[in-house]
């Protein structure tokens, strides 16, 4: 994907290739307790410190062997090429701006297809591959290349912009895979490997340590806010690594490389991966249901440092997720949680921040019950909350189906004759309307759709992509703003809520 980098500090989405099945290698081992004694003595520098015992054992970094893990993992890392076909403009129509500013007739330059590159991780022997949504978003064709140069046509199973995770499928058997690890057991300082295809350099392996877990990085793509609870590492990740594998020294998949923090667009010291606890659950939902089963507590939350000074007067803890307000149909509120509570645990897992709470809740599906621990003015209270979906129910959310079914209409591309008669160069015609969204909005047969949500519509395929993107959003974001003309040439505008 062609990207223009600015010299402005920011988040840069990068593309990467995933890694393959791994075999255990030497692990980094450190005792949980470095210090056993509660007594203290004056140190060499005059400060009181606990006595350090000889039982503190560790493996020196230079003694860790990454070769076995890397050799196996690269075989399950794939290169992904995504191609978006260009739409040719109508040669019989001359835009007046083009005439006065350079167009003089004759053969127009043919628009070129957009091509992007990224990475993916084989997670199933029968060809399921996990990658980033931004690697394949809008693609008409997906080409997957194995480490041994075998090539396959990829089929999109589903994608989730909120986590930037997508699942694709190739038709093959007995493929190498990377087994899932437990990203929640990661410790800061633990060695990890990033495997991908930076700058189209295939099967590239870099090493680093976990710099932080549960990192809250504010970012969005295509106007969709991402769920933010990243693994931060200093393993080198560059454009081409997105969708690639982050693995531990046992060869287990613990994250999907997704972002870098950079002034130039290239690696500048930190990279971010979606934990497999989130990515794996999203991929599983896409495979089983065609849509993510996103569970919600129904709360508006803040990190404690961001809470108002007035509210902080009643907060007795320094870590957790502060409950500021509730959704209209909040299961948390119905369970007894109150505004001003600080959520400190989910099923006995400690919650230190908003991102940690997001990560835990995203492991579950609507209808499942979780134990929520809160601190209320210094007192610990526990509640059992049944999680719900965005619609306030516990029902399974199914894939919405094709555009014709969702909108209740049929479409066809305009002919050159229609474009010439109407004086336009793009658009699709509504050729039939049945019971559904279009009929409810008053759109009739013969209406010409030209733009949807400020995007040009040249073909029914364009419309399908736009609607599909909108359906992946939630709540108030599931709205189509349609601009077009009636058969008499009169402009008409419509707004259609797809969430109803």
Task: Give the active site residues.
Answer: 134, 164, 242
Q: Give, in order, the Cα–Cα distances in Å from 413 to each of 89, 410, 418, 448, 454.
A: 12, 11, 10, 10, 19
**How crowded is residue 59: how many other Cβ atoms within 10 Å of its Cβ?**
14
Between strands 128-132 and 114-122, the pairing is: antiparallel
Count of H-run helices and E-run strands, the chain: 11, 29
Helices marked H in 362-436: 403-407, 416-422
Q: CA neighbours within 13 Å on the CB side: how many for 391?
A: 12
494 burial type by CB count under 10 A (0-12 exposed, 13-18 middle, 19+ buried): middle
How far is Cα 272 from Cα 229, in angstroms, rounded to an integer? 9
How far is Cα 245 from Cα 227, in angstroms, rounded to an integer? 19
Residues with Cβ within 8 Å of 298's Cβ and at least 6 positions away in sequence, in order, are 326, 327, 329, 330, 331, 332, 333, 388, 392
**464-469 contacts, C-beta under 8 A, 24 or more apart:** 464/402, 464/403, 465/138, 467/403, 467/406, 467/407, 467/498, 468/403, 469/137, 469/138, 469/161, 469/222
């Amino acid at each position: 994907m062609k990207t223009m980098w600015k010299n402005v500090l920011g988040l840069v989405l990068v593309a990467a290739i995933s890694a393959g099945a791994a075999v255990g290698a030497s692990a980094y081992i450190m005792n949980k307790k470095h210090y056993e004694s509660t007594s203290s003595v004056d140190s060499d520098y005059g400060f009181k410190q606990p006595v350090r015992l000889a039982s503190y054992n560790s493996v020196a970094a230079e003694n860790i062997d990454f070769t076995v893990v890397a050799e196996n993992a690269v075989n399950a890392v794939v290169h992904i090429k995504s191609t978006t076909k260009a739409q040719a403009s109508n040669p019989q129509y001359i835009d007046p701006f083009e005439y006065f500013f350079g167009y003089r007739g004759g053969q127009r330059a043919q628009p070129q297809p957009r091509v992007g590159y990224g990475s993916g991780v084989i997670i199933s022997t029968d060809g399921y591959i996990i990658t980033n949504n931004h690697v394949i978003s809008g693609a008409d064709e997906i080409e997957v290349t194995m480490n041994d140069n075998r090539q396959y046509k990829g089929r999109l199973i589903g994608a989730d912009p909120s986590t930037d995770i997508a699942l694709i499928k190739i038709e093959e058997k007995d493929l190498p895979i990377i087994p899932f690890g437990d990203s929640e057991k990661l410790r800061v300082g633990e060695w990890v490997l990033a495997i991908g295809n930076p700058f189209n350099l295939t099967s590239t392996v870099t090493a680093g340590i976990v710099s932080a877990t549960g990192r809250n990085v504010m970012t969005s793509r295509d106007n969709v806010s991402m769920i933010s609870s990243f693994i931060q590492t200093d393993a080198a990740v560059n454009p081409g690594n997105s969708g690639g594998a982050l693995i531990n020294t046992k060869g287990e998949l613990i994250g999907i490389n997704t972002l870098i923090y950079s002034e130039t667009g290239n690696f500048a010291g930190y990279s971010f991966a979606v934990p497999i606890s989130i990515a794996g659950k999203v991929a599983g939902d896409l495979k089983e249901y065609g849509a993510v089963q996103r569970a919600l507590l129904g709360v508006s939350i803040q990190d404690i440092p961001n809470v108002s000074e007035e509210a902080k007067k009643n907060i007795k803890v320094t870590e957790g997720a502060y409950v500021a307000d509730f959704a209209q149909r909040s299961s948390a509120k119905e369970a007894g949680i109150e505004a001003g509570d600080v959520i400190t645990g989910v099923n006995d897992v400690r919650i230190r921040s908003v991102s940690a709470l997001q990560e835990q809740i995203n492991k579950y599906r609507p209808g499942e019950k979780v134990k929520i621990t809160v601190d209320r003015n210094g007192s610990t209270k526990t509640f059992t909350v049944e999680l719900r979906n965005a619609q306030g129910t516990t029902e399974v959310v199914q894939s919405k189906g094709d555009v014709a079914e969702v909108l209740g209409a049929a479409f066809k591309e305009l002919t050159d004759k229609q474009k010439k008669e109407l004086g336009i160069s793009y658009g699709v015609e509504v050729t039939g309307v049945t019971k559904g969204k279009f009929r409810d909005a008053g759109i009739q047969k013969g209406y010409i759709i030209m733009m949807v949500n400020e995007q040009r519509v040249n073909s029914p395929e364009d419309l399908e992509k736009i609607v599909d993107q909108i359906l992946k959003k939630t709540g108030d974001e599931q709205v189509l703003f349609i601009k077009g003309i009636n058969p008499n040439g009169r402009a008409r505008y419509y707004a259609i809520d797809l969430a109803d």
